[in-house]
């Protein structure tokens, strides 16, 4: 069995896209069935949003741009 430190060190050597994919696989492997319905729903939403970012369906905005837009709306 490989220890956590070795896995972590190797994972950090991956390209960012590969690390993001690894995170998705690890999150999906967690047992969320014991959680309440709201937690499962949020978990599903996080995975859906991550897929949308990965496949280019949505674009991320820099935080500063987002807050400027909010301030201008006031």
List pLDDT tens digits, range 5-52.
Answer: 999 999 999 988 888 888 878 877 876 665 567 777 788 888 888 889
Tokens of 33: 């069935």
Average pLDDT over residues 47-70: 85
Residue-level pLDDT at 31: 66
- Greater confidence (68 vs 12) lies with 12
C-alpha distances in Å from residue 47, one per residue of 16, 27, 28, 38, 66: 17, 8, 8, 14, 22
Confidence of residue 4 (pLDDT cuts 50, 70, 90): very high
Q: Please report how many Cα atoms fall inside a 13 Å half-sphere around the Cα of residue 53, on the Cβ side.
A: 12
Chain-centre distance of CA 40, in angstroms? Answer: 15
Residue-level pLDDT at 74: 62
């Amino acid at each position: 069995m490989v220890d956590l430190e070795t896995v972590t060190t190797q994972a950090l050597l991956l390209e960012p896209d590969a690390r993001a994919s690894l995170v998705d696989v690890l999150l999906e492997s967690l047992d969320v069935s014991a959680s309440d319905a709201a937690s499962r729903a949020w978990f599903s939403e996080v995975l859906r949003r991550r897929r949308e970012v990965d496949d280019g369906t949505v674009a991320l905005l820099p935080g500063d741009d987002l807050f400027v837009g909010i301030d201008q709306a006031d």
